Structure 1
Amino acid sequence: MPNRPPQQMTIIISMYLGYAAMMICRQMVTILSPAMLADETLELTKTNVGDFAAYGTLGALVGKIIWGPLADKFGGRFTLLTGIFFTAIFIIAFGLSPNVIAFTSFSFLLYCSKSSGWPGMTKLIGEWYHPQHYGQVWSILATSSRLSVVLATLFFGWLMSFMHWRIVAFIAAIFALVIFVGCYFYLKETPAPPNFFKEDENNTENTELVNASKQALYNKYNHPLKGTGTFDGLVAFAKSPRVWLVVIMLMVLTCMMAFLDFVAVYLMESYQLTPSQAAMASTVFPVGSLAGLLASIAFYDRFSKRGIRTVLTIALILSLLSVLTLQYLPLFNFSVELNYPIALGAIFLFAFSISPAYYLPMSIFSIEYGGPHSATLVCLIDAFGFAASAAFAFIGGRLADSAGGWSSFMNMLILISAVGIISVWAFMHSEYKAEKQGIHLNQSK
C-alpha cells in the first residue's frame, strides 16, 4: 500500500489548514477587542468584551450539542467543511455589526460554527490513523490551533496599526473561504482499502509493539458500543466514572485557557500599551501553548499512562506558579521595564504548561472510549468545558471592571489553577488504573 502515507499526509494537512481557518475567525473577536474598546463610536466596556467571549462560549456549547451527533451521522468531512464556511460568513457579519447586540449575536453564531472542528477531526482521525498514533496526530493538529492564533494575532494586529478593524475582519474571512475551497477538493472521508492499517502491524521487529498494535486495532473494530444508537452511547457515558473525571478536568482547563480572551486587554491596561501593541504582545499565550504541544509530540505516545500522569501534574503545578507570579509581581517593586518581560514569561509558561493537558488526554480518550460515538463524546465533554468557560468570561469581565480590577481577576485564576492540578491528576490516575487492569474499553455497567 504505497499510497497510504501520502494519503494520510494529505488528510492531516487539510485538517490542519481547515481548523486553522476556523480558529483565525474565532480568534478575531479577541484580536479586535482592544481596537473596538478604543473605538469611541462603539462606547464599549470591558464588561462588553467579557460578554462577547461569554456568549460566544455559550454558542460553542450549543454547537457541541449539535455537531457531535451530526459528525457521527454524516462524517467528519461534512462537519469540518460546514464549520469552515459558516465561521467565515459570521466573521463578516461580526465586522459589519453596528452595536453591542449585533456583536454579541454574531459572536454566539461564530463560536457555534467553529465548534464543529474538533468533532469533525475526531471522526477523521479515527478513520485515517492507527490507534497507537492518536497522540502524535492530535499533538500535530492541536498546534494548528495555537500556531494559527499566533500568526493571526501578529499579522492582524499589525494590520490594525494602519487599517480599520472592520476591514481586518473581512480579510480574515476571505482567507478562511480560500481554505474552504482547498479542503473541499482534498479532504476525504474514509480510506478505501479494508486493510488500510495492516502495514502498521508489521513495521517493527518488536513483538510487544506488534501485539499492542494488533490489540489496538481489535479494540477499534470490536468496540463495545458498536452497533448501538446515540442514546445507548449517552447512557453508557453517563454511567462511567472516567467520563465524569475527564469532564471535570476539562471544565477547569477550559477556564484556564479562557484567560487568552483577556490577555490583550490585561497587558494594555497593566503596561500602558496601544491596542495594536497589546494584540501583538498577547501572542505570548498561543506561542507558549504551541511550544507545549510541540513538546508533547515527542513524548506523549511514548509514555505510559503513569508517566503522563506525572508529567501533566508537574506541568499544572508550574501553571499555578505562573499565575501567582502575575498576581504578586507588583509587590516586588521592580521597574516597569523589568515587570513587563517577567509578566510575558509567566503568561508563556502558563500556556506552555496547560496546553498538553487541555488538548490531548480528552481527545484520545474520546476516540478510544467513544468508538462509534466518539464525536458525540468529545462534544459532550467540550460542552461542559464551554459552560464553565462562559461562566469564567462573565465573571472575569466583571471582576476586571470592579474596584479590585485585575487583582481580583487573578485571585479567581489562582483558585481555578489549584483545582486544575487535582483534576488532571485524578483523571490521569483513573486512566493509569484502567491501563493497569486492562479495561481500556470496558463500559461501566
Structure 2
Amino acid sequence: MDFSKDTELDAKGPEHPLLLSSQDSGRDDLDRLKIRDGELKTRRRKPFLTPRVRWQVAIFCCLFLGYFSIILCRVGTEVSLAAMTDDKQLEFTKFDAGTVLAYGNGAYIVGKMLSGAVADVFGGRRVMISALTAVVVFTSLFANVYTKLFFIGIFMINKIFMSSGWPALTKLVCVWFDEEHYGKVFSGMSMSSRSGGLASTFLLGGLLSAGLHWRVILYIAATVALCMMLLSACILRESPVELGLQASIKKPKDDFEGGNGHPLDKAGLTEALFYFARSPAFWCLGIANLFLTGCMEMQSILPLYFKDSLHLSPGHATLVASSFQAGAVASLLISGIVYDHIGPRARFLFLTCLLAISTGCLVILWRVPNIEASLAGVVVFVLGATISTPYYIPGGVFSMSFGGERYCSTLVSILDVFGYCASIAMDTIMGSMTWHDLFTAQVMSCVLALVFLGVFMGTKAAR
C-alpha cells in the first residue's frame, strides 16, 4: 500500500479552507473574505458605551456641577457676611450678620419641607433648573442691596431655592439609575456637597483675602451658577423614557402585590406620608440622622477649637480643620462602591464600625486637649472619613428605594429636616458650652447615632 500521500498531508497539517481552491471557487473565497471584513468593521464600529450609559454619565456630571454651583453661591453669601461688617458703605454689624443667618436657617427648613413635594409633582429637571435660575438672580440681587431688611429678605428667598437643589437631584438620580447602583451614584453626588463646600471656602476666601470686594465675589459665584443653569437646561431630561431608552431597574418590594412596581406608585401625598410614618425604619433613620447631623456640625467650630486649645493662628487652625472635608471626600470616593457590592449584614457591620471609629476620634479630641497639631489633623481626617458615609449614603439610598420614583424627594426632604433641626440646635448651644462639655455631647450623639443606625440597618425596609 502507498502511504506516501497520507504521510505528506500529515506533515503539512490541515490546510486553511480559503486555500483549498479545489473545494471552493475563487468567487466563494472573495465572498468569504468580504463577509469576514464586514464583521470586523461592525465590531470596530460597536460603541464602548451604550446610549443609555452615555446619557447617565452626562446626567451625573450635570447634576454634580449644578449642585456644586449652588453650594458655591451658598458659601459665597455666607462668607460675604464677614466682609460686610467691614464695609464702610454699610451699617452692618455682627449682630446683623447673626440675624441674617438665623432667618436664613429658618427659611432653609421651610424650603426643605416644601421642595420635596414640589419636585415629586413637577419633576426633578424643572425644579433643578428653576433653583439654579433663582439662585443666580437672588445671589446677584444680594450683591446690589444696602439695607438690612432687604439683605434678610433676599437671603431668605435665596435659601429657600437653594434647599430645593438636593430633592431635585435625588429625584433625577432615582429615575435615571438602577437601584443596584444607588450607593455609588449617591456617594458621588454627596462628594459634590463636600467638595463644593471645601473648594468654595478656599476659593472665595482666598479671593477675599486677595482684596476683591465681597460684591465681586458674589458676582463670580452667580456667573458660575448661570453657566451651570444653561448646561442643565441643555442636558437634563426627566427620565430615560423621554429619549426612548430603557427605564431604570428597581428591586421588587416584598410588601407590594403588584409585581415589580412600588406600593406608592399610585398613592397620594397623604397616603405616602402615612406610609412613611408607619415604618419603624423611617423613624430610626430620622433619629439617627438627627444625631449624625449634630456630629457633622462640629466641623464648623473645629477651627475655633484648634485656635483656642492648640494656640494656632486662625489660618493654621482652619488648615488643620479642613482635613475633615478632605477625609469626607476621600471616603465617599470608595464607600459607595463598597456599599453596593456587599449584603445587608456586611452593610450593618460596615456602617457601625465606621461610627465606632468616629466615636473613638471624638473621644481622642475630648480627652487629649493638648494634642499635637499634626496628630489632630490626622484624627480629624479619620473623623471626616468615617462619619460621612453613614451620614450621606443610607439616607439617600433609603429615600429612593422606600419612597420610590413617586415620593423619593418628599422622603429625602423630611429626613433632611430632622437633621437641620439638630444643626440649628447645635449651633445655638455650642457657643454657651465649654469645650469639655461640648465634646461630651458630641460623643453621646455619635453613640446614639450608632445605636439608631444599627437598628435601622436591621429592619426589613433597609435591606
Length-normalised TM-score, structure 1: 0.81
In the alignment, structure 1 residue 240 sits paired with structure 2 residue 279: yes
Please name the residue that 1:344 is paired with: 377
Alignment CA distance shift 1:257-1:214 (3 Å): closer
Aligned equivalents of 1:398, 1:85: Cα separation in 2: 39
- Give the C-alpha shift of residue 224 in structure 1: 1.1
Please name the residue that 1:209 is paired with: none
1:276-287 residue pairs with structure 2 within 5 A? Answer: 282-287=321-326
Q: Deviations over 1:63-105 (max 9, x none)?
A: 1111111111100001111222223334345555657766655
User: Which residue, out of 58, 61, 68, partners 1:20?
Assistant: 68
In the alignment, structure 1 residue 223 sits paired with structure 2 residue 262: yes
User: Which residue, out of 216, 226, 231, partners 1:182?
Assistant: 231
Please name the residue that 2:330 is paired with: 291
Is the contact made by 1:51 and 1:397 (CA closer than 8 Å) also made in structure 2? no
In the alignment, structure 1 residue 156 sits paired with structure 2 residue 204: yes
Aligned equivalents of 2:407, 2:245: Cα separation in 1: 22
Aligned equivalents of 1:377, 1:166: Cα separation in 2: 36
Is the contact made by 1:54 and 1:394 (CA closer than 8 Å) also made in structure 2? no
Please name the residue that 2:299 is paired with: 260
* CA root-mean-square deviation: 3.1
Please name the residue that 2:439 is paired with: 410
Aligned equivalents of 1:408, 1:36: Cα separation in 2: 33
In the alignment, structure 1 residue 355 sits paired with structure 2 residue 403: no
Alignment CA distance shift 1:281-1:162 (3 Å): farther
Aligned equivalents of 1:270, 1:222: Cα separation in 2: 56
Fraction of identical pairs, as percent: 30
In the alignment, structure 1 residue 395 sits paired with structure 2 residue 429: yes
Aligned equivalents of 2:141, 2:92: Cα separation in 1: 16
Aligned equivalents of 1:279, 1:167: Cα separation in 2: 24
In the alignment, structure 1 residue 310 sits paired with structure 2 residue 339: no
- Give the C-alpha shift of residue 21 in structure 1: 0.8
Alignment CA distance shift 1:78-1:434 (3 Å): closer
User: Which residue, out of 454, 457, 460, partners 1:425?
Assistant: 454
Aligned equivalents of 2:169, 2:412: Cα separation in 1: 10
Count of equivalent residues: 408
Alignment CA distance shift 1:114-1:276 (3 Å): farther
Please name the residue that 1:129 is paired with: 177
Alignment CA distance shift 1:389-1:138 (3 Å): same
Tell which deviates more after alignment, 419-428 or 273-282: 273-282
Aligned equivalents of 1:414, 1:246: Cα separation in 2: 19
Is the contact made by 1:324 and 1:414 (CA closer than 8 Å) also made in structure 2? yes
The amino acid across from 1:314 in the alignment is C
Please name the residue that 1:142 is paired with: 190
Please name the residue that 2:129 is paired with: 81
Instruction: Structure 1: state its 5+ residue gaps.
Output: 201-212, 441-445
Aligned equivalents of 1:39, 1:325: Cα separation in 2: 41
The amino acid across from 2:94 in the alignment is L
Please name the residue that 1:196 is paired with: 246
Please name the residue that 1:116 is paired with: 164
Aligned equivalents of 1:279, 1:30: Cα separation in 2: 16
In the alignment, structure 1 residue 366 sits paired with structure 2 residue 399: yes
The amino acid across from 2:333 in the alignment is L
Please name the residue that 1:205 is paired with: none
The amino acid across from 1:394 in the alignment is T
Please name the residue that 1:167 is paired with: 216
Is the contact made by 2:287 and 2:449 (CA closer than 8 Å) also made in structure 1? no
The amino acid across from 2:233 in the alignment is Y
Three-state SS of the structure 1 residue aligned to 2:301 is: helix
Is the contact made by 1:22 and 1:114 (CA closer than 8 Å) also made in structure 2? yes
- Give the C-alpha shift of residue 420 in structure 1: 1.7
Aligned equivalents of 1:180, 1:306: Cα separation in 2: 41
Is the contact made by 1:322 and 1:349 (CA closer than 8 Å) also made in structure 2? yes
Instruction: Structure 2: state its 5+ residue gaps.
Output: 1-48
- CA radius of gyration, larger in: 2
- Give the C-alpha shift of residue 125 in structure 1: 1.4
Is the contact made by 1:71 and 1:375 (CA closer than 8 Å) also made in structure 2? yes
Alignment CA distance shift 1:193-1:21 (3 Å): closer
Please name the residue that 2:414 is paired with: 380
Three-state SS of the structure 2 residue aligned to 1:188 is: coil
Aligned equivalents of 2:302, 2:147: Cα separation in 1: 23
Q: Deviations over 1:361-381 (max 9, x none)?
A: 111111111121111111112
Is the contact made by 1:60 and 1:383 (CA closer than 8 Å) also made in structure 2? no
Is the contact made by 2:355 and 2:386 (CA closer than 8 Å) also made in structure 1? yes
- Give the C-alpha shift of residue 302 in structure 1: 0.5
Aligned equivalents of 1:33, 1:318: Cα separation in 2: 36
Three-state SS of the structure 2 residue aligned to 1:247 is: helix
Q: Deviations over 1:27-60 (max 9, x none)?
A: 3355456656777974426xx7776655433322
Aligned equivalents of 2:156, 2:296: Cα separation in 1: 18
Q: Which has the higher contact order (CA 8 A, sep 6+)?
A: 1
Alignment CA distance shift 1:104-1:309 (3 Å): farther
Tell which deviates more after alignment, 357-366 or 85-94: 85-94
Tell which deviates more after alignment, 31-40 or 239-248: 31-40
Q: Deviations over 1:227-264 (max 9, x none)?
A: 11111111111111111111111111122222233334
Alignment CA distance shift 1:107-1:267 (3 Å): farther
